[in-house]
Amino acid sequence: MSEVLAGVEIQEILEQLGIETTNSGASTGSFWYQTKGETIHSYSPVDGKLIASVTAATEEEYEKVIVKAQEAFKQWRQIPAPKRGEVVRQLAVKLREYKEPLGKLVSYEMGKSLQEGLGEVQEMIDICDFAVGLSRQLYGLTMHSERPEHRMYEQYHPLGLVGIISAFNFPVAVWNWNTALAWVCGDVCVWKPSEKTPLTAIACQKITEEVFTDNDVPEGVSCLVIGGAEIGKKLTADTRVPLISATGSTRMGKSVGEVVGARLGKSLLELGGNNAIIITPTADLKVVVPGAVFGAVGTAGQRCTSTRRLIIHEDVYDTVRDAIVKAYGQLKIGNPLDTANHVGPLIDKDAVAAYENALKQVVAEGGKLLVEGGVLSGEGYESGCYVKPAIAEAKNDFKIVQHETFAPILYLMKYSGSVENAIDIQNGVPQGLSSAIMTNNLKEAEAFLSAAGSDCGIANVNIGTSGAEIGGAFGGEKETGGGRESGSDAWKVYMRRQTNTINYSDTVPLAQGIKFDL
């Protein structure tokens, strides 16, 4: 067991969150199955030490979870939506109580900075607050019928079981983005978290358990199944699960989409990003530098919204390049629970290998390293997962630039002429998640936001690509998958739409004036 984490005993944090050193990986709420599957060890990328171990769910236990979830749905869907919202409100209160220990565990198990770990828990609180209001706003429309004494309207009903497959980089927030909305919509949830971050998932389930038990929520409304790819495949192929919400790589998403589509299920896919910031001649460096640097190195470049490319006008290229390189020289790399550090570790050594290969490839394709990378070693870097954020001059058509590398590598490239040329470069990748433009020119900003502008699901002006508020729908286009989570009307994906017609006359007139006399 790891003994100390930035001056705080990890054992104390685990105890606060109800986590034992050996944990079960299948739960339907207050009931935890004594699983018999393989053992998954959770090692911290911060120091390489074992935090705790989890026994994965077997196929038999998976089946028990799904059956229990089906039973729970029959009860949960009958509870009025505002009352379901009240339960979610209480969950937000409980998350506020657990914000510090859960945020620290997120930071220690995943490797992101403590500020980001706490921020991720805050996102959970925010989406719960959003969902509480939503529970009284699950609106349908009313329409005028062409037939006399008829009324038409539409309403939304819960889908049933929602399968959630989440990634390691946001181990708790993305789960709650889905569950908070799905629960107020009347659905039940089955969560398969990343096997790289199982302890944060167990913590979330235990926190939810406290609230649900106090409110007599049916067993099975919140379910957890921890395991590897096989459990994920079972969930994806299960016809009893009408919606699969999956976050991860484009490769994974294509597989999920194919399987779910083959059974005519619904999928919500949040996949890779290859996000760019366009920097025009009128851009303010005081805005450009922090936005670009945080976007590129925050979470060690392991966000789907991380900034991968800077597309800089040739007139200001040298100035911007020099300012970014200078800022990189001020970055502090180390234990993410030390708030003095800007950059923590990558998730594991496989990620480190991908980072090293990307740097070799960009040079092999003709790129030039402006800030050389490298793996850090020695005191404080014993896990072997700490790397230096790197900057390379590159071209947009390089194969490595077209590919999303989940690491702190930033590619710089020039554009000339009008902003439309920069937009063409930005859009010239397979992914379409987040994008930004730095400009004080209104015409350039509007061109970027127009139908002929950015082809991404998120398009920002004078802020970076990284991060999003829960009030807006989150997601992207092209190989990012097309899904939308969180705010706006993203709730509709968790429900089925039904059109109703009521005849309150004494006759049965047919639509389109059709006559059918008996």
Catalytic site positions: 270, 304
Taking the mean position of all CA atoms in its chain, how far away is CA 462?
23
Query: Which of 420, 435, 448 is closest to 306 using CA atoms?
Result: 435
- Which are the contacts of 174, defined by CB distance < 8 A and separation ≥ 6? 164, 166, 167, 247, 270, 485
The CA distances from residue 257 to 15, 250, 319, 428, 486, in Å, are 39, 10, 44, 23, 20
Under DSSP, the state recorded for 482 is: S
The CA radius of gyration of the chain, in Å to the nearest whole number, is 25
Query: Which of 334, 237, 296 is closest to 466 using CA atoms?
Result: 296
- Which are the contacts of 318, defined by CB distance < 8 A and separation ≥ 6? none
The three-state DSSP-derived secondary structure of 73-115 is HHHHCCCCHHHHHHHHHHHHHHHHHCHHHHHHHHHHHHCCCHH
The CA distances from residue 341 to 48, 303, 306, 330, 371, in Å, are 18, 18, 18, 10, 19
Q: Which amino acid is at 81?
A: A
- Give the CA-trace dihedral at 492, 493, 496, 499, to 10 degrees: 50
* Cβ neighbours of 5 (radius 10 Å): 24
Q: What secondary structure does DSSP assign to 177-232, as a single string?
A: HHHHHHHHHT-EEEEE--TTSHHHHHHHHHHHHHHHHHTTPPTTSEEEE--SHHHH
Compute φ and ψ for 171, nearest 5 degrees: -70, -15
* Residue in this structure with the two tokens 């040329």, named with its chain if needed: 421
- Which are the contacts of 115, defined by CB distance < 8 A and separation ≥ 6? 339
Q: Would you state the structure tokens that stand for residue 418, as one six-digit string?
A: 């009008």
The CA distances from residue 492 to 131, 139, 423, in Å, are 13, 10, 31
| 3-state SS assignment for residue 501 | strand
HSE at residue 9, side-chain half, CA atoms within 13 A, is: 4
The CA distances from residue 115 to 53, 107, 156, 274, 304, in Å, are 26, 8, 38, 24, 18
How do 409-415 and 307-313 pair as beta strands? parallel
